[in-house]
Structure 1
């Protein structure tokens, strides 16, 4: 399964010139825990997450409307590619202690953002389908006897 199929249809992102308020508004509007921060050519420059709001910005005393998101984003971001498997993405997110992984093309342009939630939901869907089939098989074999 392509990792991009697990990502939201259009990734939540803001420009590197956006404010912290813009990033927070995007996260709220998109029900996302993080946004990719992109340069003008759509290349990922960093990520800004709920954790960045809480750990870095919240007690800074600065105005969210006038503070550039680039000052509080996480700049060192591990990224995946369309070839990254969901299992690899999950492992990277766990090891790096990030809940979101931007998926980029060979030029670093944003294609999607996958979260641990996306991977887990896909696995729950798969398990639910397997359980449903197993129950149907059991029911059919009981009927035949």
Structure 2
């Protein structure tokens, strides 16, 4: 069986930001594009950091900071881990698991950003890697439990269907939109009925 490279499954239309943009500007980009992260690049279009929804919640909202005054440079995760597009997806998953991340910006030979690949992208083409991805998800459970204490309902991208929602709820270790929340509740009711 032929190996699939991250370049084959990558998203090429990466939404980027500059290190001097405010948290509000970054959050607006996430909302506008229905995404869960923004790659921060320098003037050469080289990735120097990444900001996720969780960064905004943990580093800005939960600390009561004014998002108009917080700049990307101060809240981005750095250094950003990047890969080249010829890396095989199974190696990318191992790297994500090892580093506790869900997204990998892809760079060319000169270090310029050319794409991004997520766990979800890989799972869609290589479903057999789900066990490895589940291991990675467990690593985030503690972080997600901390987020639950911060806010019962937040805006962002659903961890299950990757759809943007203004009403994410924390359920069973993941942030879910109202539709996925109803699906989870429905399954729990069915399970209880089967047990009875």
Same fold (TM over 0.5): yes
Matched, 1:120 2:123: yes
- CA 1:77–1:70 in structure 2 vs 1: closer, same or farther (change >3 Å)? same
Matched, 1:28 2:5: no
Equivalent residues of 2:12, 2:114 under 8 A apart: no
Segments of structure 2 that go 5 or more residues without pairing to the other structure are: 128-196
Deviations 1:19-77 (A, max 9, x none): 11111111222222211100111011101112211222222222212321110000122
Report the TM-score, using the length of structure 1 for normalisation: 0.78
* Residue in structure 1 matched with residue 15 of structure 2 by the alignment: 12
* Residue in structure 2 matched with residue 89 of structure 1 by the alignment: 92
| Partner Cα distance (2:54, 2:98) in 1 | 17
Equivalent residues of 1:105, 1:111 under 8 A apart: yes
Q: Which has the larger radius of gyration?
A: 1
Report the TM-score, using the length of structure 2 for normalisation: 0.59
| Partner Cα distance (1:99, 1:33) in 2 | 10
Matched, 1:73 2:79: no
Cα offset, 1:94, TM superposition: 1.3
Alignment: residue pair count:
124
| Partner Cα distance (2:84, 2:73) in 1 | 23
Cα offset, 1:107, TM superposition: 2.2
| Partner Cα distance (2:12, 2:115) in 1 | 8
| Partner Cα distance (1:93, 1:29) in 2 | 26
| Greater RCO, CA 8 A, separation 6+ | 1
| Partner Cα distance (1:80, 1:3) in 2 | 9
| Partner Cα distance (1:56, 1:12) in 2 | 21
| Superposition RMSD in Å | 1.5
| Partner Cα distance (2:100, 2:34) in 1 | 20
Counterpart of 1:101 (choices 83, 104, 107) is 104
Matched, 1:57 2:40: no
| Partner Cα distance (1:86, 1:103) in 2 | 12
- CA 1:65–1:102 in structure 2 vs 1: closer, same or farther (change >3 Å)? same
